[in-house]
Structure 1
Amino acid sequence: MPMHAIVTIKEECNKQISCEVDIRYTTDVNHCLYDYGFLNVWYTCKKILDFSCDFESVLCNWSPEHDENRFKWKRGNRIDYLYTPSVDHTSASTTGKYVYIYAAGSKLDDIANLESGEIVAVEQQCLSFWYFTTNSRDSVFVYQNEKELVDLSDKEEEKWHHIQIYLEKNSYDSFKLVFKVVRGNGWKKHYGAISIDDILIENQNCNSLILNCDFESNSCDWNIDEFNKYVWKRQNGQPPFYHTGQTTDHSTASDSGNYMYLSSTVDTIAYLEFQNVNLHVSGNFCLTFWYHMYHDEDYEMERLNVTFDNELVWTDYANQDNKWKRAMIDLQNRMNMSIKFIGILGSNWWNDIDIAIDDISLAEGTCTGLFYHEDNCVQLDEKTPEETKCPKGYLNITNSRLSFDPEKRECTKIYDQTKNHLLKECENRDNSQKCVFDFSTEKSSHPGCYQLYEFQIMHTCEG
């Protein structure tokens, strides 16, 4: 109890046989003894939406809608050497999948749509995807409901391009995204294929990554061990030996794109380090990168390690498939951060062994696409109910927790009933609404269980 509250009691009760003192308002706002206790809330919100898709195995509930069977979106890979991408964007391999539309046999003004299902709108949302076209004849648009977001027509260039679009909430609670292609007049323009890969829809602003490096223009302040003869180098295209390494970077899946590369014929260890990163973030975040480790023979003399503050957090070794592979590592922020990529190559005098890295990024939240939210010491005597940070459609109720401070042993059953009631209310709400924790009914029904303090005051009497 604050000392000035004790002084007040002594003054009011001085030499009295009995007394009653109200000390609730004798202290300042930071030390006041409130009528009721506190609520602690813990829950998770989805960051990555269900319609995000790399199309490797399924369409992820994207629906092809078309006028005629001859003109529609399909999932697959190269069908024609001249018109479709030789590799997908996800793995930059010939076996990878994407969605495409190939206009041969179509008629003027035919329309083909690729539609998502209903997406719950929030204040901050971003759509990103990779786009490849050899088609300058047809018109390509992206819509949010009836609103045109971007016109991709006349963007013919034979490499994968990254497109980002901020999604405005506007007045609707939910919306659909549509990729729309309209068959044009091909008299003077080139017809070919239109391809899309790696659609990502996130409940956050575009360009919100803490760190993002594709090595296209520089090394992004990643420190290279200059004292080592065999070091990580930024390069593009295929390595010197045709039977080892990648033929493209990961970002653009083209021979003009850049990546970091390590090669040697002797035993060597090389470090690629990002040290003392000033991250303005607390809690969980996700480190993502793409790597390539391939040789036409099965060697086990190459290894890639990742350390976080000199602690090993990830490793892979030996011959992998001839494609870029993604690695994702859940980490927690620390005061002095050091992230190292350590390439270890064994002796192979008759040929080079190599490792490549590309597209390193750091993002808030977990690698599973969840944001953790925790609100502690929410005052139960406040009139404003506690509202979640995301709508019910993105709220993971199964991992939610509520607790009260203080919790009285005799009220355990009441607390359990309250928690179950409130979480059930959140489940029953519409997906577009936020969950509201309103304790007014519980407080009025069982005030003794939610009162903050009960005092027993001992005193001595003179003579």
Structure 2
Amino acid sequence: KIWSVLESPRGVWMQAEVSFKKPMPTKVVFMSLCKSFWDCGLVALDDITIQLGNCRSPERLPPPPGECTFDQDECAFTQEKRNRSSWHRGRGETPTSYTGPKGDHTTGVGYYMYIEASHMVYGQKAHLLSQPLRGVPGKHCLIFFYHMYGAGTGLLSVYLKREEDSKESLLWRRKGEQSISWLRALVEYSSRRQHQIIFEAIRGVSIRSDIAIDDVKFQAGPCEEMEDTSQQSSGYSEDLNEIDY
């Protein structure tokens, strides 16, 4: 045996590169084993190549489309503009006290994305865009963790932007302070067309309104469980007196 894998994300192609050395003519055989007589699952292979020399694999393979822990970089997420009021990649505590996380969700010592409210004004927005994602029939499940702690916390929204659509569709929203801990969000949506997911954070009434996200991933098919998506009131007006910058 020169390589094996026990499990992989559902509905996502994963890349594998395997270096091996044999002193005689060799055949490579792929074998799939069932967990039990009744549980064999589904296994697929594609784009197999064999070449001389070691695999020139980077230290880590790129994550599946849309997936990011932000520990190495911002993956394929982009921003329309970057300035002090944009999303920032950070670790540890945010600069302002009594708001923001103490560390990332993944390990506690890694990185996450956040807005720094002290660099923004009330109602100012920051947008973080996923790379274009392939549309498929049926449901998608977006899973991510968010942190909304601070007396002046504003809004965190998730929008769906389909290819050729002029407007985004609101998928999910949280308003006001939620918890001092990281919370998980599960967002189910459908799109047969290529699309992007947009994370929009809006600064609240005070500098104690840092908002953070971490560990974003997508799964094919409906979410295995659903969270309560009822909006929680924070006392702000519905549009939070939004200001475009």
TM-score category (smaller protein): 0.5 to 0.7
The reply to whether residue 331 of structure 1 matches residue 176 of structure 2 is: no
> What are the within-5 Å matches in structure 2 for residues 420-459 of structure 1?
none
The reply to whether residue 234 of structure 1 matches residue 89 of structure 2 is: yes
Q: Deviations over 1:114-151 (max 9, x none)?
A: xxxxxxxxxx97389xxxxxxxxxxxxxxxxxxxxxxx
The reply to whether residue 259 of structure 1 matches residue 117 of structure 2 is: no
Instruction: Identify the match of residue 69 of structure 2 among 198, 214, 233.
Output: 214
Tell me by how many angstroms 1:174 deviates: 6.7
Instruction: Identify the match of residue 311 of structure 1 among 155, 169, 175.
Output: 169
Q: 1:282 to 1:210 in 2, by over 3 A?
A: farther
> What are the within-5 Å matches in structure 2 for residues 265-280 of structure 1?
265=118, 266-267=121-122, 268-279=124-135
Q: 1:210 to 1:364 in 2, by over 3 A?
A: farther
Q: 1:269 to 1:169 in 2, by over 3 A?
A: same
Q: Counterpart of 2:220 in structure 1: which amino acid?
A: E
Q: 1:204 to 1:312 in 2, by over 3 A?
A: farther
The reply to whether residue 287 of structure 1 matches residue 152 of structure 2 is: no
The reply to whether residue 355 of structure 1 matches residue 219 of structure 2 is: no
Tell me by how many angstroms 1:368 deviates: 2.1
Q: 1:319 to 1:260 in 2, by over 3 A?
A: same
Q: Counterpart of 1:244 in structure 2: which amino acid?
A: T
Aligned equivalents of 1:231, 1:352: Cα separation in 2:
16
Q: Counterpart of 2:115 in structure 1: which amino acid?
A: L
Q: Is the 8 A contact 1:308 1:337 kept in 2?
A: yes
Tell me by how many angstroms 1:228 deviates: 5.0
Q: Deviations over 1:259-312 (max 9, x none)?
A: 001112322100001242235x432110111000002x3x3x510011002100
Partner SS state of residue 133, structure 2: coil
Q: 1:211 to 1:274 in 2, by over 3 A?
A: closer
Q: 1:275 to 1:217 in 2, by over 3 A?
A: closer
Q: 1:127 to 1:333 in 2, by over 3 A?
A: closer
Partner SS state of residue 224, structure 1: coil
Q: 1:209 to 1:366 in 2, by over 3 A?
A: farther
Q: Is the 8 A contact 2:66 2:131 kept in 1?
A: no
Partner SS state of residue 330, structure 1: strand
Q: Is the 8 A contact 2:66 2:218 kept in 1?
A: yes
Q: 1:127 to 1:242 in 2, by over 3 A?
A: same
Tell me by how many angstroms 1:209 deviates: 5.5
The reply to whether residue 173 of structure 1 matches residue 37 of structure 2 is: yes
Q: What TM-score do the two structures reach when normalised by structure 2? A: 0.61
Partner SS state of residue 289, structure 1: strand
Q: Is the 8 A contact 2:87 2:113 kept in 1?
A: yes
Instruction: Identify the match of residue 7 of structure 2 among 109, 126, 140.
Output: 126
Unaligned runs of 5+ in 1: 1-123, 129-166, 176-202, 370-463
Partner SS state of residue 215, structure 1: coil
Partner SS state of residue 210, structure 2: strand
2:180 aligns with: 322
Matched residues, number: 171
Aligned equivalents of 2:101, 2:132: Cα separation in 1:
31
Aligned equivalents of 2:33, 2:64: Cα separation in 1:
19
Identity %: 30
Q: What TM-score do the two structures reach when normalised by structure 1? A: 0.34
1:101 aligns with: none
1:48 aligns with: none
More strand by share: 1
Unaligned runs of 5+ in 2: 10-31, 44-60, 162-167, 226-245
> What are the within-5 Å matches in structure 2 for residues 38-187 of structure 1?
126=7, 168-169=33-34, 172-173=36-37
Greater C-alpha Rg: 1
Q: Is the 8 A contact 1:261 1:354 kept in 2?
A: yes
Q: 1:303 to 1:259 in 2, by over 3 A?
A: same
Q: Is the 8 A contact 1:303 1:343 kept in 2?
A: yes
Instruction: Identify the match of residue 100 of structure 2 among 245, 255, 275.
Output: 245
Instruction: Identify the match of residue 367 of structure 1 among 198, 204, 223.
Output: 223
Q: Deviations over 1:204-233 (max 9, x none)?
A: 67x996532101101011112325540101
Q: Counterpart of 1:337 in structure 2: which amino acid?
A: H
Aligned-residue CA RMSD (Å): 2.9
1:302 aligns with: 154
Q: Is the 8 A contact 2:66 2:130 kept in 1?
A: no
Aligned equivalents of 2:203, 2:42: Cα separation in 1:
40
More helix by share: 1
